[in-house]
Structure 1
């Protein structure tokens, strides 16, 4: 299967890295290749976040800015998120076993939920400190280093967001697309902190704490958004109408099939379990009906990569 590329500079950058670090990188249905994509995004994110965390924390403590310190721990949560991405893909690539006949692909969504919980805990802690700072304002010293780090954060976060979006779309990985949203919200949060520090320079000391609370809002929204998508996937979200109609058309294209209904698709990441009922002439023998069902299963499995198909036969 050919991967999706849009010709952008980010896509070309990703392709450059993939060609050098991911063997057979275009085989995006392979569990090991999918895992390698996740590792690549996770490593890029971890390296960037370690640099940002250390820089923001040191500067935040030095200038006494609760908003900058909040941003530092926001970056720390992103380090954890990047590590969770790596662990999630490592577990998800494990082959099926007797206890998990459809593989471990859903672990990606479990890892996403863990990331959301961490974000909520972090947001609550920062909110508490910010409210205390609102009640009892303390002096904040703004310098060129703080401004530079925040501007660098905006640029770097937008770059990482685009990298994650491109990689996530190539392999249709929910966890990477979710991480790209997290990166983009981080960029907006850094802008708010920057505005807060400018407000401090102009004499509005409480703007620093207000900026920190705004960052908390971004953190909690990110947690809610990625948790909602991951939960829907784990709870067995219904397939789209396009998928159902495709399966119905494939089934009806087989000679002898007069109808198809009760179509269900259970998504396990790179693997899918498809069940459906097909209608055949009631005068056919059991063997003839079975042969038709086998052909339906074969054609659907050929079209939908990673699908295990079970077609039940009924009289028309």
Structure 2
């Protein structure tokens, strides 16, 4: 069913990095979500008011908020498709993350309000009328929501969109919450023990839990989460295919929304290479990354001294000194300026306990003790 809807309503559906195609995916998800959730909302509110069950009514209101979430998803993906402009030179792709965060906020608000109402019902229980209609409506809701969750999860996997994943997570949590309401209705019918308020609390708790999970997942790319290691690995693979590239380091990628990634990479080439030759190597690599990964990259070229036994011995000795400080440290871009100024970069894990100033002093002291004829300058790169 999902593939049928995609092929029916999304043109060029395999081109998921295209902003117009992503917008069509958003319209499809939003349209389906609005139809399903409005239908369930009407059915549940009718059954809830007829039976007097706060659990059913709360579940219906949750469906109404889900319909609103679908509207936000549609608007978010439509706005994220806007091209880059003077105020937003990297495009508007991160609006997808903001849309997902708004959805999470709606989910949290609905869950909180339902919790308040349910606590009142728990303290002052009211009779509930259990009917075949109410149970049928709730059972149908579970079926619809399972399908809707799978539908949006598949869209999320296909497009790598957090907005779809947030909607899918919400749908699956709704299934659990609705199942709890059904169980409480059956217990009331069989024993007369009124768990309606407790059911509302469970439903509200599940709603808030799913909202918190969606918010946490969405905040990561907004704050700037690490790049996908697979993408970094592919960039390095493309770089070292060129035999003129002697080494690769400082590979970074920044996402400005799904399918909108910018990267930077440092490559090492032999120091005797002319400026024109080095520029050609960098330009060729930028083109290859763009063509194969659809990533705009900036390549920085570092010259490397090759074939000098004295320099190679110095680098080996310095590497041993650095490993003596800590095995997790590594260095690159070793250069000697003005005969005695030794300059290099050191890669440091984010988790390394020492601060930058303390670690820099430690490295400089150890290096100068090993090579007293050199003045050492080090640049720390947290990785």
TM-score between both structures, scaled by the size of structure 2? 0.77
Bigger RCO (CA 8 Å, 6+ sep): 1
Deviations 1:15-63 (A, max 9, x none): 3223332222222221111111111111111001001111111221121
Residue of structure 2 equivalent to 1:296: 285
Q: Does 1:227 align with 2:215?
A: yes
Partners of 2:30 and 2:71 within 8 A in 1: yes
Deviations 1:143-165 (A, max 9, x none): 11110110000100111111112
**Higher percent of residues as strand:** 2
Aligned residues: 303
Residue of structure 1 equivalent to 2:336: none
- Which structure 2 residues correspond to residues 25-36 of structure 1 after superposition, within 5 A? 25-36=13-24
Structure 2: runs of 5 or more not aligned: 305-383
Residue of structure 1 equivalent to 2:156: 168
Partners of 1:255 and 1:292 within 8 A in 2: no
Q: Does 1:240 align with 2:223?
A: no
Q: Calculate the aligned-residue CA RMSD, in Å.
A: 1.3
For the residue of structure 2 that corresponds to 1:257, the secondary structure is coil
**Cα 1:242/1:20, change in 2 over 3 Å:** closer
Residue of structure 2 equivalent to 1:308: 296
Once residues 303 and 311 of structure 1 are traced to their aligned partners in structure 2, the CA distance between those partners, rounded to angstroms, is 16
Displacement of 1:234: 0.9
Deviations 1:238-263 (A, max 9, x none): 11222211111111112311111111
For the residue of structure 2 that corresponds to 1:274, the secondary structure is strand
1:53 to 29, 33, 41: 41
Once residues 211 and 204 of structure 1 are traced to their aligned partners in structure 2, the CA distance between those partners, rounded to angstroms, is 15
Q: Does 1:141 align with 2:124?
A: no
Partners of 2:267 and 2:300 within 8 A in 1: yes
2:140 to 144, 152, 158: 152
Residue of structure 2 equivalent to 1:287: 276
1:211 to 191, 196, 199: 199
Displacement of 1:205: 4.2
**Higher percent of residues as helix:** 1
Once residues 132 and 69 of structure 1 are traced to their aligned partners in structure 2, the CA distance between those partners, rounded to angstroms, is 14
Once residues 165 and 120 of structure 1 are traced to their aligned partners in structure 2, the CA distance between those partners, rounded to angstroms, is 20
Q: Does 1:267 align with 2:267?
A: no
Displacement of 1:204: 4.5
Higher Cα Rg, which structure: 2
Residue of structure 1 equivalent to 2:81: 93
Displacement of 1:85: 0.9
Once residues 47 and 158 of structure 1 are traced to their aligned partners in structure 2, the CA distance between those partners, rounded to angstroms, is 15
Identify the range of structure 1 (195-204 vs 123-132) with the bigger mean alpha-carbon deviation: 195-204
For the residue of structure 2 that corresponds to 1:82, the secondary structure is helix
For the residue of structure 2 that corresponds to 1:96, the secondary structure is coil
1:276 to 265, 269, 276: 265
**Cα 1:131/1:301, change in 2 over 3 Å:** same
Q: Does 1:182 align with 2:170?
A: yes
Once residues 200 and 206 of structure 1 are traced to their aligned partners in structure 2, the CA distance between those partners, rounded to angstroms, is 5
Q: Does 1:22 align with 2:10?
A: yes
Partners of 1:140 and 1:205 within 8 A in 2: no
